């Protein structure tokens, strides 16, 4: 069908027959949540795959952010980016913390280290950067600033599954890193997430916090919440881990084709791979210069939609423009010119492992011919 709907993403799904077999195992064990067999197995497997020392699984990608802030006892103000999914800033708000927005680097879309120090006040306790589109932040610069001012660093690494710099996982940067395993991500457990930490003591505390604060049957050590991953999703995640490398390579090939076709397209720009970085190709954002391209971002976005090609204006609008946050001093548009420009010009093109040659040709044809 020439005009079939091309979705912006498609979930990585385990083989149904294999999943049925593993479900039988869960049914036989009759242990479907509360740190069961597959939960433990997935934590071990992810530590090995991601090259991290300790990981704690969660039922979604937002609760690890909320829990990391609790575990590190973050209060006052936290410096963060307006160019992200709302969960980043919502996690601060839910902890009674004031977000302080800082502008982004046009070369990466990530928090600009050159702008961080000017935003630090006596109330600042942490920095929460985001590896936007899975592109690594300048972790060394951020560490230097954090160390200088005695700040904690929590990375929102929702997009950064498997991303490495010089063979080292970027999830090991900062005090903690959080992951999302939502259905739209490179690797998914339907819904799910994780928190990466550096030592066994911190893992123990996180595991208490995600289970109501229980340390044992009768001892509650903190006001925790219930955010544990169940056995069904953990088993699903184990199966998906077997095929995620092939899915990432398929995405890589899509990115290569996009770049080849759009490299010299007037008014369309995109990010190239970063040196020494193992990318996961979770997204492929393009940026539309209306003057040079002859069409605004929104005109192209809706034109694609008419052709049954779904893009995503990700991230638009900026978090700082939402009603909860727009009254903050740091949310004023004049403080965030790069973030506003990026939000107003971005379209994430369809990017997933099931795109066919014909799909890619249709997507590119819509952009190149503008018809």
For 97-118, the pLDDT digits (tens) are 999 999 999 999 999 999 999 9
Closest CA to 295 of 345, 261, 348: 345
Using a pLDDT cut of 90, give the percent of the chain over it. 98
**Average of per-residue pLDDT across 321-337:** 98
- Single pTM value for the model: 0.97
Section 118-125 average pLDDT: 98
Give percent above pLDDT 70 in the chain: 99
pLDDT over 90 at 87, yes or no: yes
Per-residue confidence (pLDDT) for residue 3, from 0 to 100? 86
pLDDT bin (cut points 50, 70, 90) of residue 370 is confident
What pLDDT does residue 263 have?
96
Residue among 172, 99, 177, 101 at smallest CA distance from 140 = 172
């Amino acid at each position: 069908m020439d005009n079939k709907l091309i979705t912006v993403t498609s979930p990585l799904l385990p083989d149904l027959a294999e999943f049925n077999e593993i479900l039988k195992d869960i049914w036989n064990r009759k242990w479907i949540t509360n740190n069961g067999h597959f939960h433990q197995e997935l934590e071990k497997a992810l530590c090995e795959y991601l090259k991290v020392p300790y990981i704690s699984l969660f039922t979604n990608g937002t609760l690890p952010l909320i829990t990391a802030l609790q575990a590190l006892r973050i209060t006052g103000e936290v410096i963060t980016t307006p160019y992200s999914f709302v969960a980043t800033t919502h996690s601060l708000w839910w902890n009674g913390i004031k977000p302080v927005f800082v502008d982004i680097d046009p070369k990466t879309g990530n928090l600009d280290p050159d702008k961080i120090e000017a935003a630090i006040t006596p109330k600042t306790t942490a920095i929460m950067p985001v590896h936007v589109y899975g592109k690594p932040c300048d972790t060394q610069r951020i560490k230097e600033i954090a160390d200088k001012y005695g700040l904690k660093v929590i990375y929102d690494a929702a997009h950064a599954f498997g991303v490495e710099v010089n063979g080292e996982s970027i999830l090991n940067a900062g005090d903690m890193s959080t992951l999302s395993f939502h259905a739209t991500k490179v690797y998914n457990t339907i819904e799910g997430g994780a928190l990466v930490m550096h030592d066994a003591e911190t893992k123990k505390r996180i595991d208490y916090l995600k289970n109501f604060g229980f340390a044992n049957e009768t001892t509650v050590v903190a006001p925790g919440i219930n955010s544990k991953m169940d056995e069904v999703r953990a088993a699903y995640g184990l199966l998906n881990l077997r095929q995620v490398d092939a899915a990432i390579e398929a995405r890589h090939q899509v990115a290569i084709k996009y770049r080849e076709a759009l490299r010299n397209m007037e008014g369309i720009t995109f990010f190239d791979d970063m040196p020494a970085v193992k990318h996961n190709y979770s997204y492929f954002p393009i940026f539309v210069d209306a003057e040079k391209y002859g069409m605004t971002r929104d005109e192209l976005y809706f034109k694609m939609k008419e052709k049954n090609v779904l893009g995503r204006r990700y991230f638009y609008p900026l978090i700082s423009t939402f009603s909860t946050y727009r009254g903050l001093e740091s949310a004023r548009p004049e403080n965030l010119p790069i973030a506003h420009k990026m939000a107003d010009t971005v379209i994430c093109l369809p990017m997933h492992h099931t795109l066919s040659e014909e799909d890619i040709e249709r997507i590119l044809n819509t952009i190149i011919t503008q018809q």
